[in-house]
Amino acid sequence: MGIQSGRQPLPVVVSEAVRVRAGEEVAPAIEALFRPSLALAVCAEAVAGRSGLGGLPRLPEGTAWPVSAAGVPMQLLARLDCAELAAAFAGQGEWPLPASGLLLFFHDDGFADAASGPPPGEVDGRAGCRVLHVSADAPERPLPPGREAVPPSPVTARPALSAPSYQDEELERLLPGDFLAAMDLSWDFSELMPAPRMRVLGWCDSGTERPAGRRPLLQLESGGAAAAWGEAVNLSFWITEEDLRAGRFDRVTRAYEVG
């Protein structure tokens, strides 16, 4: 599954910052941590493909609309066309997601799972979200009674390298005992490589508590999608490396940060 191609080079100014903060010996290992990703941005209908935020999902016959722990139909946040994303990813290495079909990202906008589970940002169950991989030709499903749709917005994707932060243990391990250097590097990365408001894959761009053993699949800022999340300022979907390699999405979990 996927596309084979070369890796996007690290900007020279970023490489220089790594060497200044961490030294020549450690720099190559830090540079190897950078991950390929896709930055998403809302676009005009004229240049739109099949990927977008909100709207209505395409669900195969017999596939139920996902519901929350309270039995309420979940909110569709994003519908991403895998073929479009794979084409945009070309030049960044092997495409790790399916080559075709749609990925549908649902979540419980009532945050019912947080009432009896872990605190915000540490939700580790699947009650808070569902990610479905479906055929791009599946019929469009109307809204369940009482469920309002997020206003549809088409999106485009572009390649974007993603940097680790001081909150990621992979970077901390390379700078043992020098937490300030890790923080300074994170600041450099954010200044030299500003994070997009929406990202597929890569590292976590926010202060969200990282679910153990998982990496971001999709990240959205609250202003990126026309959806109300109360005090939550961002929302992210997380997947294990094993499930990412296997194309398995039934164990994806959700995390969010309260501002």
What are the mean pLDDT values of the chain's consecutive 10-residue runs (259 residues total)?
51 93 92 95 71 93 91 92 95 93 93 51 62 95 90 91 93 88 92 92 90 93 66 87 95 86
Among candidates 212, 199, 205, 73, which has minimal Cα distance to 146?
A: 73
pTM for the predicted model, two decimal places = 0.88
What's residue 115's pLDDT? 47
Q: Where are the domains of the chain?
A: 39-163+197-258
User: Is residue 232 a contact partner of residue 85, using CB atoms and an 8 Å limit?
Assistant: no
What's residue 112's pLDDT? 62
What's residue 71's pLDDT? 86
Interatomic CA distance for residues 55 and 68, integer angstroms: 19
What's residue 229's pLDDT? 66
Exposure of 219 by Cβ count < 10 A (0-12 exposed, 13-18 middle, 19+ buried)? buried
What's residue 66's pLDDT? 94
Characterise 37 by phi-psi region: left (phi > 0), alpha (psi -120 to 50), beta (else).
beta
Residue 111 DSSP one-character state: -
Side chain identity at residue 61, one-letter code: E
Type and span of the H or E element at 241:
helix 241-246
User: Is residue 34 a contact partner of residue 162, using CB atoms and an 8 Å limit?
Assistant: yes
What's residue 114's pLDDT? 53
Residue 34 DSSP one-character state: -
Identify the CATH assignment for 39-163+197-258 out of 3.20.20.10, 3.40.50.620, 1.50.10.20, 2.30.320.10. Answer: 2.30.320.10
